[in-house]
Amino acid sequence: MTGEHEGLGGLVLTTFLDEKLVVDAVHRTACGYVVKDVDTTELVRAIRAVARKECAFDSRSAATMVHSMYNRSTAPELTERELGVLRLMATGSSNRHVGGQLYISETTVKFHVRNIMRKLDVSTRAEAVYEASKRGLI
């Protein structure tokens, strides 16, 4: 931050505990993230910590951050071809349509879909699209 608010710490107080929201808040320089149903003592502790230019996360938000860091570092990366298949899956395209668009056989599309689902640790195409969206892959 620059200008008159330089050094000002931000504490997010919210009803939502979502991995993407917590990570986005931290990336946008929030110093803390607390869910509204935290007890008063914990909230006061967080406010004071941010005022001292320290980080403050309630236990669930901290666990979400750790989970996010762990998942990002251990998640297998998708190949460019798998990402292409995934993008077309997100539009609701059938295996035949995906194959036609990418000039590959339907069997090859099925192979890529299985790999995508394995790498994203999901069991359906819809879950694959949702998980990829949460991870910012599509």
- For 56-71, the pLDDT digits (tens) are 888 888 888 777 776 6
* CATH no. for 80-134: 1.10.10.10
Q: Hunting for tokens 């997010």 — which residue is that? A: 12
Q: Which residues, in sequence order, are CB contacts of 61 under 8 Å at separation 6+?
A: 17, 22, 33, 34, 35
Confidence band of 109 (pLDDT split at 50, 70, 90): very high
| Superfamily of domain 3-74, CATH level 4 | Response regulator (3.40.50.2300)
DSSP 9: -
How many other CB atoms are found less than 10 A from the CB of residue 25?
20
Alpha-helical segments (H) within 1-138: 19-27, 40-51, 59-74, 80-90, 95-102, 106-120, 125-134
**Predicted structure pTM score:** 0.49
